[in-house]
Chains A and B, each alone.
Chain A
């Protein structure tokens, strides 16, 4: 029983066919890779999955639930969280606040107890802060909790985005180039985190250009090119697939 079923997704912009008949399935609790040259349509697909973009054709089904025409906040409500290729943090908030903001779906924070300053409100808030700090610790940013997000290094910002996505307590995590621009040690730590999350039962769809990162984590990989799926298969299959190799020939690929 697949967690995520993508069936025949197409999306065009004016005359440009960004995605054409994309289909693949992701098994629950696995890390599934999504690779392809620049412009292949990977981020467009993630935008469709997270509800930011409507497909012109096709269906996405998550845990039996059709995601058709669901707005992004409802998609998140189904347990799907994501990071962004261009990083969309809340710049003037601190790291901790970014994560606290991510708790939206999980934190009731009701008005009345706060107006009346009931102890229950303080307890709830304290609990949320502890949780947020713990989430920051998972990505190794607990020491930067009170730093404004915009002061972080590039790699730290990517990690913060992951932390914020984790605050949603998702069952499906869509990572869009989570280790772009990271050094080997940093990306290794993220790889450990991803492995741990999958071990806990989270399903992860991973876009990355860093091939060794992808290969070390993903048992199954879908390859896109020009908006179409070239193939979906195990990592060895994909590595040896002639069309995949051809698609990457001529492009400088970053092998960490």
Chain B
């Protein structure tokens, strides 16, 4: 199954994380910029293991993208447009039971995107198995090839990209929420009030690629981290999974990686009886699942329950209004 690491994809491996964590100088300058001072520094240092990329780029003076225009699509070496895709190996997902933490994919996504509470752009559902017991299903946006949400949007605020993903332009969204009614996977979230956010969120340059800062009255969802992967970094959830259960890849080049190994995506899906959620609806999701219930990491299907999701940055967002799903 394993292939020789491709150079281009090898960039998108765990070495990137180290680079980010040791950028303490930038973090200090970010604090100065924010004017938070010594008091604010403590929670920021403790709770943010990785300086938020969105803020880091702004502080370093290299904004991720100019304006709200969507960046050029990522290309393969031969100039073809990459087709982002995700493969989630449920055999390796135990809902972070073994870690004793909330699902790390959700937590890191929340921390990396400053996702407003109570949104879970990648949500770990616990579903009952036909033979008894449960399985955990990390569920990001399915990035459908035939997206029902795009069909119904009256203003084209949610749109398909050449990379095969579906994004939302929160600067155009009118908040009619028909996309939420149309999405069959419950993967869209609305800013019912002024979205809770830590102070540094205001520094980010808004772009549909990362949706930060969030704005009231608009819809948000998992964006597949196109800005990060264009820079050679894997999405937050892929990086954070302790069991390497989430694979990110390019269907055009037929390759996928979980940050540790690299596989031929098509063979990996077919060889492991991959499927997609609610295939009968014809939405053609770009997220594939490999059937399982965490057996590869020693999970007993009868051991149910997971830690509730947390929004670690919420302690930095004093007085913020939150709501429940």
* A-B interaction: no
Residues of B bordering A, CB below 8 Å: none
